[in-house]
Amino acid sequence: MLRRLYDKIIELAATPYAFVVLGAVSFAESSFFPIPPDVVLVPMVLANPAKARLYAAWCTVTSVAGGLVGYAIGALLWDTLGAWLISAYGYGDSFDTFREAYAEWGAWIILIKGLTPIPYKLVTIASGFAGYDIWAFIVLSFITRGARFFIVAELLRYFGEPIREFIEKRLTLVTTVFLVAVAGGVILARYAF
pTM over 0.85: no
In angstroms, the CA 183 to CA 101 distance is 23
Sign of torsion over alpha carbons 38, 43, 46, 51: negative
Into how many domains does the chain fold? 1
**pLDDT digit string, tens, across residues 25-59:** 999 988 877 778 888 888 888 888 899 999 999 99
Q: Which domain holds residue 155?
A: 2-192
Q: Distances from the Cα of 100 to the Cαs of 20, 53, 104, 118, 130, in angstroms?
A: 37, 37, 8, 19, 8
pLDDT: which is higher, 23 or 114: 23
pLDDT of residue 184: 61
